[in-house]
Amino acid sequence: MKFFYLSSNPNDNGLHEVHDRDCEHFPDSYNRDYLGPYNTGKEALRKALTLKNEVGLCENCCSCTGNSIIYI
């Protein structure tokens, strides 16, 4: 599990971004809200949507790089 936070300040696109605490774009302590521990950024995004209307995932730390593999 990772610990996720929501940026208090919107990005250039007007979205408040969800970040994990190891992100290189992690906002300082005055510009973030704690969301909690989650397995993925998408799970944290659900919580963030209860706090703000315009939210998105940080492309740096919350992008999904893995692919599902299904064997038939």
At a CB cut-off of 8 Å and minimum separation 6, what does 1 contact? 37, 38, 39
Predicted local distance difference test score (pLDDT) of residue 62: 83
pLDDT of residue 71: 46
CA–CA distances in Å: residue 72 to residues 65, 68, 69: 23, 13, 10
pLDDT in tens, 16-71: 999 999 999 999 999 999 999 999 999 999 999 999 999 999 998 987 554 444 44
pLDDT at 9 over 90: yes
Backbone angles phi, psi at 29, to 5 degrees: -65, -25
In this predicted structure, what is the pLDDT of residue 63? 73
pTM of the model: 0.84
